[in-house]
């Protein structure tokens, strides 16, 4: 079987006698190509990895309903291409022992090379919510490492293998171990997220054998940030500023290389967003520390993976394609009652390739290339002038299930309006507010008469430093339905004064809109629940509410085929 061919793999699966489970068809908010289980609640992605030709995704799941549960499990799905999935009926981990009886919380996988590199063996490190409602770290191994689907997992007899260091962190807030990596001394390292009052901490452990872990007071906390609350789901990984998009293996890299940097990603609990630090990881005979080049201050200069709803992300090194791929949970923005009625809650964003910009200052993200296999019915617009105050419908695609790439040609930046930062940050009606260059962009999941619309757009401003671009997703008119979280998500980034074009890619799928601005420099992911603009009644428009005309250099849009979700 060709591992990366979706069609081959799925027909093979059917031939092997696996039934295609019925996905409810009449729910407009269910997605067609985003990962979601058949039913019930899902949150964080856990332990993604590539093993024996198969991609694995574990995830936080409540088998008992569409709300967060008392006994969270690690559900498990497998794929040959990260797009078409088989949901395994057997949960990888479920509460069973005193050390995880109140829930198997988030964690990671690490693939160990055993017996001189020949055999590989994946291990899960996960958090157990124990009988005293303390959080401890546990280890699990596959029952049969030869099974590429790794269906069954065994918990280690020594669990819990790590308990909270008293005096340093709160015992009930000590969770979410990272993928482990090896230091120059050959010992394993892992980071566990923690909290002490309002201080978020990342705690570092060492181990010779992956079972017995030690805390070294000289390098702990590995990182601490005041004011963030619990540091959930830390992720620590190397990147290369060599100007390529190649990923770097978690532990197979040269730490002394001048092109290697490390990223420490933190799920900032108080803000429910993904913040990250870029810096140098020093690990030699004398010391071990992470020296970050930026800070997390809770202001607009902070680096975030996504400025919308995208949380508890987890990356892995995909050695089949030599890239780093990141997953993130996208929660619902409707009410709990709505979720119970739908019978499900939670999506995973499309897996993204992540790399560092060659300037070393921020991460870039882009939907994995495999997604493009679902594209069909391409429509294009080339060289069209979007006159000030106009809209233009993009016809010929299924607008509720689409992939849109557009490049806008900018007018002379010198004419841009001066940025009044206070006004921009407090104004909820950005899309209808006219500036000079912008707002211009897309109206997605729009009704024919535009009563419902979600605007994704740019506005260009002059600032004291040069020029900035405001990118927003405005949900305020996204639905006629009441009781929804409908706000505007925004971010501002500096742009080069010589910039002539700006690009936007937007993935639309029922109730999710994921946007990638300026080739993946900025991401905004949201959930919307239109009443009118669903299925065939959803439309897509381009708009320009600015005073200057803007040209569409090129637009390509596609309907997206449904991905396959099988049950086994």
> Which residues does 392 contact at the CB level (< 8 Å), separation at least 6?
381, 384, 386, 541, 542, 543
Give min distance, CB of 43 to ligand DQQ, in A. 5
If the CB atoms of residues 106 and 401 are measured against ligand DQQ, the closer one turns out to be 106
Of positions 6, 106, 109, 159, contacts ligand DQQ by CB under 6 A: 106
Binding mask 233-272 for ligand DQQ (x = CB under 6 A): x---------------------------------x-----
Token readout for 482 is 């009441």
Q: Which is nearer to ligand DQQ, 128 or 367 (CB)?
A: 128
Indicate the residue among 232 and 250 with the shorter CB distance to ligand DQQ: 232
Looking at the Cβ atoms of 170 and 554, the one nearer to ligand DQQ is 170
Does residue 232 bind ligand DQQ (CB under 6 A)? yes
Tokens of 42: 């899902």
Residue 382 CA to chain centroid, in angstroms? 32
Taking CB under 6 A as the criterion, the residue among 81, 100, 130, 176 binding ligand DQQ is 176
Report the residue number, 309 or 370, with the smaller CB distance to ligand DQQ.
309
CA torsion, ordered 73, 267, 336, 431, to nearest 10 deg: -140
CB of 267 to ligand DQQ, least distance (A): 6
Please state the closest distance from residue 33 (CB atom) to ligand DQQ, in A. 23
Whether 380 and 525 have beta carbons less than 8 Å apart is answered as no
Mapped onto helix, strand or coil, the DSSP state of residue 139 is strand
Q: Reduced to 3 states, what is the DSSP secondary structure of residue 390?
A: strand
Q: At closest approach, how far in Å is the CB of 37 from ligand DQQ?
A: 14
Q: Specify whether the CB–CB gap between 233 and 47 falls below 8 A.
A: no
Q: Which residues pair with 494 in a beta bridge?
A: 468
* Joined tokens for residue 171: 């015992």
- Annotation says 44 is catalytic: yes
User: Concatenated DSSP letters for 10-59?
Assistant: HHHHHHTT---PPPPSS-TTS-SSSB--SSEEEEEEEEEEEETTEEEEEE
Site string for ligand DQQ, 71-100 (x = CB under 6 A): -x----------------------------
SS3 422: helix
Q: How much of the chain is helix, strand and coil, in % rounded to 5?
A: 10, 50, 45
Q: Quote the least distance from Cβ 525 to ligand DQQ, whole Å.
A: 15
Asked if residue 34 lies in contact with residue 348, where contact means CB atoms within 8 angstroms, the answer is: yes
Report yes or no: 481 and 531 within 8 Å, Cβ to Cβ: yes
Contact status, residue 449 vs residue 502, Cβ threshold 8 Å: no
Least separation in angstroms between CB 72 and ligand DQQ: 5
| Strand-by-strand arrangement of the 401-409 sheet | 375-386, 550-560, 401-409, 501-509, 512-517, 522-527
Residue closest to ligand DQQ when measured from CB atoms: 105
Identify the active-site residue in 44, 176, 235, 318: 44
Q: Nearer to ligand DQQ by C-beta: 106 or 110? A: 106
What is the footprint of ligand DQQ within residues 191-230 (CB under 6 A)? Answer: none
Number of residues that bind ligand DQQ (CB under 6 A): 14
What is the four-CA torsion angle of 361, 358, 306, 504, rounded to 10 degrees? 130
- 435 token code pair: 């500036």
The one among 29, 61, 74, 105 contacting ligand DQQ by CB under 6 A: 105
Binding mask 34-73 for ligand DQQ (x = CB under 6 A): ---------xx---------------x-----------x-
Q: Which is nearer to ligand DQQ, 233 or 419 (CB)?
A: 233
Interacting residues with ligand DQQ between 304 and 333 (CB under 6 A): 311-312
Binding-site member from 34, 155, 175, 548 for ligand DQQ (CB under 6 A): 175
- Inter-residue contact 75 to 42 (CB < 8 Å): yes
Q: Which is nearer to ligand DQQ, 71 or 245 (CB)?
A: 71
Closest CB to ligand DQQ among residues 273, 401: 273
Could you say which residues in the range 8-37 bind ligand DQQ, by CB under 6 A? none
Q: Are 404 and 508 spatial neighbours (Cβ–Cβ below 8 Å)? A: yes
Say how far apart CA 124 and CA 246 lie, in whole Å: 25
Angle in degrees, CA 236, 239, 245, rounded to 5: 135
Nearest approach, Cβ of 266 to ligand DQQ (angstroms)?
A: 11
Task: Give the shortest CB-47-to-ligand DQQ separation in angstroms.
Answer: 12
Rounded CA-CA distance 85/534 in Å is 25
Is residue 59 within 8 Å of 42, Cβ to Cβ?
Answer: yes
123-142 positions binding ligand DQQ, by CB under 6 A: 127
Distance of closest approach, residue 248 Cβ to ligand DQQ, in angstroms: 26
Which residue numbers are catalytic?
44
Binding site for ligand DQQ (CB under 6 A): 43-44, 60, 72, 105-106, 127, 175-176, 232-233, 267, 311-312
């Amino acid at each position: 079987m060709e591992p990366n061919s979706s069609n081959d793999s799925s027909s093979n699966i059917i031939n092997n006698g696996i039934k295609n489970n019925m996905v409810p068809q009449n729910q407009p908010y269910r997605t067609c190509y985003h990962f979601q289980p058949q039913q019930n609640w899902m949150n964080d992605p856990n332990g993604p990895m590539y093993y024996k030709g198969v991609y694995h995704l574990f995830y936080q799941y409540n088998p008992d309903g569409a709300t967060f549960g008392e006994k969270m499990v690690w559900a498990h799905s497998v794929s040959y291409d990260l797009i078409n999935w088989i949901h395994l009926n057997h949960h990888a981990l479920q509460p069973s022992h005193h050390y995880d009886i109140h829930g198997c919380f988030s964690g990671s996988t690490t693939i160990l090379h055993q017996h001189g590199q020949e055999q590989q063996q994946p291990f899960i490190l996960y958090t157990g919510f124990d009988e005293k409602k303390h959080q401890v770290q546990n280890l699990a191994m596959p029952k049969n490492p030869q099974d590429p689907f790794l269906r069954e997992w065994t918990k280690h007899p020594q669990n819990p293998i790590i308990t909270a260091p008293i005096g340093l962190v709160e015992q009930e807030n000590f969770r979410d171990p990272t993928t482990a990596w090896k230091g120059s001394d050959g010992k394993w390292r892992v980071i566990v997220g923690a909290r002490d009052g309002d201080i978020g901490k990342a705690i570092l452990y060492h181990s010779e054998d992956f079972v017995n872990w030690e805390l070294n007071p000289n390098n702990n906390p590995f990182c601490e940030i005041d004011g963030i609350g619990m540091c959930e789901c830390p992720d620590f990984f190397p990147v290369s500023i060599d100007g390529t998009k190649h990923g770097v293996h978690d532990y197979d890299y040269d730490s002394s290389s001048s092109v290697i940097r490390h990223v420490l990603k933190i799920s900032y609990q108080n803000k429910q967003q993904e913040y990250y630090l870029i810096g140098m990881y020093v690990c030699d005979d004398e010391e071990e520390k992470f020296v970050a080049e930026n800070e997390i201050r809770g202001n607009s200069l902070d680096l975030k993976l996504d400025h919308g709803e995208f949380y508890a992300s987890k990356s892995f090194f995909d050695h089949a394609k030599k890239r780093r791929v990141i997953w993130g949970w996208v929660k619902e923005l409707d009410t709990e009652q709505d979720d119970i009625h739908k019978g499900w809650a939670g999506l995973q964003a499309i897996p993204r390739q992540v790399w560092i910009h060659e300037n070393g200052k921020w991460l870039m993200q882009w939907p994995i290339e495999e997604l493009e296999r679902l594209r069909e019915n391409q429509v294009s617009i080339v060289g069209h002038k979007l006159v000030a105050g106009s809209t233009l419908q993009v016809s010929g695609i299924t607008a509720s299930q689409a992939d849109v790439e557009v490049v806008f040609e900018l007018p002379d930046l010198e004419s841009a309006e001066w940025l009044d930062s206070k006004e921009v940050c407090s104004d909820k009606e950005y899309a209808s507010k006219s500036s000079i260059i912008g707002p211009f962009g897309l109206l997605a999941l729009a009704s024919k008469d535009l009563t419902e619309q979600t605007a994704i757009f740019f506005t260009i401003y002059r600032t004291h430093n040069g020029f900035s671009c405001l990118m927003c997703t405005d949900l305020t008119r996204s639905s006629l339905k009441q009781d929804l979280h409908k706000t505007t998500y925004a971010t501002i980034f500096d742009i080069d004064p010589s910039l002539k074009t700006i690009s936007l890619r937007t993935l639309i799928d029922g109730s999710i809109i994921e946007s990638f601005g300026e080739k993946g420099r900025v991401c905004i992911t949201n959930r919307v629940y239109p009443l009118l603009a669903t299925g065939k009644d959803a439309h897509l428009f381009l708009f320009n509410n600015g005073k200057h005309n803007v040209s569409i250099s090129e637009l390509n849009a596609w309907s997206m085929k449904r991905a396959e979700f099988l049950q086994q």
